C-alpha cells in the first residue's frame, strides 16, 4: 500500500490521459496546483472561469500556464460548474475539481439530472490523511456530503472509503466507527447505531465500533485500554457519525499539524476532487493525484 502522498503522486505520474476540469479555477492555489500537476506529468487541465478573473490572478502572481492547461471563458459560477461537469460526463476530462466556488453550487452541478455524475449510490467525501506517527494513510469520512447518515448510508460510506483505500493498495480495509467511548451509551445514540452496524458486518471490510480514536488507530493505546478485535489499533478508515464531526476532524489534521491531506468524493461516475476553497496548492495537488490513482 502507498504510505504517503509522495508515493501517490509517483503512481499518478505512471498513468496517462488524466485531465481535470476545474470550475472557477481562477484562484492562485488552483492554478498553482494545475501547473504543478502539469510539470509533474500528473494531469492536464481545463479551467472554466471568467476571463477577467483568470487574467487578474495571472497578472498579480506571475503564474505562467503551460499549453496543457486550457482556459474556457464563462459568465458565472453556475455556468462554470455545469460546463465543467459536462466536460467530465462527456469524457473530455477525467476528473472534476472544485475551484473558487461554493460547495452547494458545485454539488448542484455534479448531481445535475442531465449531465451530472450520479451512479445511484451514496456519494461521500473522503479525506485521505498521511498520519506520520503511524507512517500510513488513513481515510476520514464523511466530512462533506451527508449531514446525518442513516445506518444504510453509513454502510455505503464505508464501502466507498474501502474502494478508495483498496485502489491505494490496501489489502484489508479496516473501518473504525468512531465515538467518544467504546461501549453503548444511551446518552450517545451513535454508539448504539455503530454497535448495530458492527454486529451486522459489512462485506469485504473489517469493521468495529464504537471505537474512540486512540484505540482505533494506535496499537499501544488499544493495548492499554484492552481493546481487541480486527480493527483495534490498525484502522485505516475512520468513520464519523455526522458531517460536522468528519469535517472538523479532517480540517484539524490539516490546520493544526503538518499532515499531508488529499480529499475527494467517491461514489460518482468519475473522481470528484473537493476540499475547502482555502486549501493550499499542495493539498489540491495531493487531491488531484488521489483522483488520478483511484479513478483508474
What pLDDT digit, counting tens, does each position of 238-266 carry?
Answer: 999 999 999 999 989 888 888 899 999 99
In a domain? residue 131: yes
For residues 172 and 212, state if they share a domain. Answer: yes
For residues 114 and 157, state if they share a domain. Answer: no
For residues 114 and 128, state if they share a domain. Answer: no
- Determine the average pLDDT of the residues in 157-164: 97
pLDDT number for residue 108: 95
For residues 138 and 225, state if they share a domain. Answer: yes
Structural domain boundaries enclosing 220 = 124-255
Residue 275 pLDDT level (bands cut at 50, 70, 90): confident
Residue 127 pLDDT level (bands cut at 50, 70, 90): very high
In a domain? residue 261: no
pLDDT number for residue 10: 96
For residues 102 and 140, state if they share a domain. Answer: no
Give the tens place of pLDDT for each residue, 213-229: 999 999 999 999 999 99
- The region that residue 24 occupies, defined by phi over 0 for left and psi between -120 and 50 for alpha, beta otherwise, is left
Q: Tell me the pairing of strands 44-49 and 206-211.
A: unpaired
Question: For position 104, which CATH number holds?
Answer: 3.40.50.10950
For residues 244 and 278, state if they share a domain. Answer: no
In a domain? residue 262: no
Helix (H) or strand (E) segment spanning residue 158: helix 151-167
Give the tens place of pLDDT for each residue, 63-95: 999 999 999 999 999 999 999 999 999 999 999
CA separation for the pair 255, 242 (Å, rounded)? 20
Check whether 296 has a pLDDT greater than 70: no
In a domain? residue 260: no
Question: For position 246, which CATH number holds?
Answer: 3.40.718.10
Amino acid at each position: 500500500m502507498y504510505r504517503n502522498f509522495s508515493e501517490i503522486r509517483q503512481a499518478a505520474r505512471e498513468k496517462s490521459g488524466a485531465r481535470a476540469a476545474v470550475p472557477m479555477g481562477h484562484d492562485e492555489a488552483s492554478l498553482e496546483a494545475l501547473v504543478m500537476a502539469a510539470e509533474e506529468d500528473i494531469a492536464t487541465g481545463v479551467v472554466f472561469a471568467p476571463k477577467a478573473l483568470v487574467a487578474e490572478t495571472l497578472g498579480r502572481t506571475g503564474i505562467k500556464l503551460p499549453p496543457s492547461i486550457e482556459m474556457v471563458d464563462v459568465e458565472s459560477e453556475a455556468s462554470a460548474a455545469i460546463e465543467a461537469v459536462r466536460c467530465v460526463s462527456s469524457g473530455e476530462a477525467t476528473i472534476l475539481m472544485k475551484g473558487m466556488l461554493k460547495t452547494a453550487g458545485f454539488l448542484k452541478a455534479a448531481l445535475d439530472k442531465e449531465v451530472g455524475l450520479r451512479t445511484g449510490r451514496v456519494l461521500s467525501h473522503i479525506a485521505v490523511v498521511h498520519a506520520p506517527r503511524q507512517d500510513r494513510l488513513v481515510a476520514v469520512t464523511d466530512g462533506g456530503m451527508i449531514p446525518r447518515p442513516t445506518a444504510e448510508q453509513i454502510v455505503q460510506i464505508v464501502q466507498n472509503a474501502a474502494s478508495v483505500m483498496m485502489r491505494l493498495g490496501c489489502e484489508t480495509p479496516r473501518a473504525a466507527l468512531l465515538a467518544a467511548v467504546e461501549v453503548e451509551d444511551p446518552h450517545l445514540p451513535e454508539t448504539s447505531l455503530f454497535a448495530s452496524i458492527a454486529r451486522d458486518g459489512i462485506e469485504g471490510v473489517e469493521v468495529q465500533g464504537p471505537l474512540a480514536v486512540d484505540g482505533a488507530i494506535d496499537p499501544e493505546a488499544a493495548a492499554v485500554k484492552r481493546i481487541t478485535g480486527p480493527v483495534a489499533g490498525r484502522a485505516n478508515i475512520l468513520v464519523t457519525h455526522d458531517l460536522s464531526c468528519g469535517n472538523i476532524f479532517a480540517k484539524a489534521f490539516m490546520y493544526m499539524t503538518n499532515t499531508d491531506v488529499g480529499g475527494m468524493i467517491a461514489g460518482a461516475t468519475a473522481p470528484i476532487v473537493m476540499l475547502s476553497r482555502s486549501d493550499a496548492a499542495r493539498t489540491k495537488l495531493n487531491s488531484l493525484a488521489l483522483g488520478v490513482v483511484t479513478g483508474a
